Amino acid sequence: MSIKTSILSSIGQKLLLATSGLIMFLLFLIPHMGGNILFLFGKDLFNSYAHHLHKLVPIVIGIEVLMLVSISVHMIMGIRVVLANRKASAKRLSQKSSKERSLAARLMPVSGGMIFIFIVKHLLDFTIAGEKAEIDMHGQTGYDVYGMVLDKFQDPVHVAFYVLFMVAVGLHLSHALQSALQTYGIYVPREGSKIKVVSTVIATLMAATFAIIPIIAFTR
């Protein structure tokens, strides 16, 4: 078995899925959430955070490249795995719904696809087409990122879109975190598993934190 065959084996592909997912979770999702929380503490703090982040451009670009690679690997492997699984399964004609399979697990391809759509829309909203007013940041030119966020979330439909897609993020993460650990060979028991509970709690908290920003922006 060559290295290439190992990588493209069922377990190899899942290891790539888990690793690319965990990279995005640890290096992107968590710092992004940390930054977003600052929005709740008002205009000055959030703008100052955005200003300082701007100074770290080389690191930010490095992470962005890593994200692009991770998201590509994650999507390619995800699609390959899902297609192979569709082919391998045969439809039961008398199928009964099972209690074991969680909704999150069932919806992994759907929530994954939704997250991709969301990322495109989110980048269009804030990175590519985001209009920021220039402001003075302690003698330097800065941007009113806070004002841009506030402006974007004045439309309730837009707020609802963001909140709905954060539900997809929560669902995806709740299965993804525990699933990645089992793929790495860390035993996640079927019943009474603390790992499953912790996965769900982290996923829910993260989704809720992300979802609260547009709601708060709308009310301000």
Q: Does 187 bind another protein (CB under 8 A)?
A: yes
Give yes or no for residue 157 binding another protein (CB under 8 A). no
- Residue 194 within binding range of another protein, rule CB under 8 A: no
Shortest distance, CB of residue 103 to another protein, whole angstroms? Answer: 11
70/186 Cα distance (integer angstroms): 22
Told to check if 9 binds another protein by CB under 8 A, we report yes
- Give CA–CA dist 80/13, Å, rounded: 8
Tell which one of 57, 62, 110, 184 touches another protein (CB under 8 A).
184
Tokens matching residue 186: 């860390």
Least Å distance between CB 115 and another protein? 17
CA distances from 85 to 12, 66, 80, 89, 172 (A): 15, 28, 9, 6, 18
Residue 19 in contact with another protein, rule: CB under 8 A? no
Bridge partners for 143 per DSSP:
134
Closest contact distance (angstroms) between CB of 6 and another protein is 5
Instruction: Please state the φ and ψ torsions of residue 175, each to the nearest 5 degrees.
Output: -85, -35
- Determine which residue in the list 58, 93, 157, 192 makes contact with another protein, applying CB under 8 A: 93
Stretch that binds another protein, among 22-30, 55-63, 80-88, 133-141 (CB under 8 A): 80-88
Cβ closest to another protein, residue 135 vs residue 202: 202
- Non-local (6+) Cβ contacts of 147 within 8 A are 43, 132, 133
49, 178, 206, 217: which one contacts another protein (CB under 8 A)? 178
Number of residues that bind another protein (CB under 8 A): 45
> Is 33 or 188 the residue whose CB approaches another protein more closely?
188
Reference 148, options 115, 164, 126, 169; nearest CA is 126
Write the binding mask 104 to 133 for another protein: x where contact by CB under 8 A, - elsewhere. -xx-x-------------------------
Query: Which of 129, 185, 192, 219 contacts another protein by CB under 8 A?
Result: 185
Give the binding site for another protein (CB under 8 A). 1-3, 5-7, 9-15, 81, 84-85, 87-96, 98, 100-102, 105-106, 108, 175, 178-179, 182-190
